[in-house]
């Protein structure tokens, strides 16, 4: 809403005209009172000649200001409003850019935090998985070691038993060979009879007695 007060541009124009007039008044006064010793042909100021030029110029300026004050004021006011709108738009664009920058920085910070969290989770999950794999591997190794130890113990026992049996058989064979080599037939017969007599002298077991009955 426009007020009835004069615009700053109009005030400045009237002030300029008034200033020019006041500045020329001493010159006009001096020229009008200078006498006839100087004229326009001598290069001096003569009011009847140069004064009209100045008055015409002042009238021209006054007419321009009077009739052009509204368009000039409107143009200046429009220019002022346009500049104000441009400044306002620039400030709004700056505020929007700063808001977008803050939003971008917030997103970047959040993304960095998410990446760090995911990396920590992956590392933690990897550590847990590696620990589980190592524990399972240790369990399998312990189980395989125990199985192999048991198998070796069983195989060793079987070999020991087999060795004992084989040693006993070899000892019996050697004893039999020695007996056959060192004893003749009569001695062998007497040895057999003595062994039978010893067997008969042994007490009979209950099972043998029951079987005989």
pLDDT at 135 over 80: yes
Q: For residue 44, what are the CA distances in angstroms to 21, 27, 41, 55?
A: 20, 11, 7, 17
Q: For residue 119, what are the CA distances in angstroms to 97, 105, 109, 123, 124?
A: 32, 21, 15, 6, 8
Average pLDDT of the residues in 49-63: 75
Tell me what pLDDT residue 213 has: 43
- pLDDT-derived band at 97 (thresholds 50, 70, 90) equals very high
Query: In terms of Cα–Cα distance, which of 67, 63, 62, 77 is closest to 7?
Result: 77
Average pLDDT of the residues in 66-83: 80
Mean pLDDT, the chain, integer:
73
Structure tokens at 51: 């004064």
Residues 6+ apart with CB under 8 A from 31: 44, 45, 46, 47, 50, 51
- pLDDT-derived band at 90 (thresholds 50, 70, 90) equals very high
What H or E segment, with its residue span, contains residue 74? helix 52-182
pLDDT at 117 over 80: yes
The conformation of residue 212, written as its DSSP 8-state character, comes to H
What H or E segment, with its residue span, contains residue 12? helix 8-32
What is the rounded distance in angstroms from the CA atom of residue 112 to the CA atom of residue 143?
46
Alpha-carbon dihedral of residues 7, 13, 19, 20, nearest 10 degrees?
A: -170
pLDDT at 192 over 50: yes
Tell me what pLDDT residue 130 has: 80
Check residues 17 and 73 and name the one with the higher pLDDT: 73
């Amino acid at each position: 809403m426009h007020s009835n007060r004069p615009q700053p541009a109009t005030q400045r124009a009237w002030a300029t005209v008034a200033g020019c007039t006041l500045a020329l008044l001493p010159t006009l006064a001096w020229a009008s009172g200078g006498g006839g010793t100087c004229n326009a042909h001598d290069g001096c100021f003569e009011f009847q000649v140069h004064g009209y030029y100045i008055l015409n110029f002042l009238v021209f300026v006054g007419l321009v200001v009077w009739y052009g004050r509204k368009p000039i004021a409107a143009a200046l006011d429009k220019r002022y409003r346009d500049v104000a709108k441009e400044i306002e738009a620039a400030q709004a664009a700056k505020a929007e850019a700063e808001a977008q920058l803050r939003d971008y920085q917030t997103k970047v910070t959040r993304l960095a935090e998410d990446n760090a969290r995911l990396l920590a989770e992956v590392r933690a999950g990897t550590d847990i998985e590696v620990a589980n794999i190592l524990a399972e591997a240790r369990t399998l190794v312990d189980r395989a070691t125990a199985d192999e130890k048991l198998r070796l113990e069983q195989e060793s026992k079987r070999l020991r038993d087999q060795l004992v049996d084989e040693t006993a058989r070899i000892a019996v064979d050697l004893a039999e060979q020695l007996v056959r080599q060192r004893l003749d037939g009569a001695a062998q017969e007497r040895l057999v009879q003595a062994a039978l007599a010893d067997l008969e002298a042994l007490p009979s077991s209950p099972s043998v007695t029951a079987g005989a009955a």
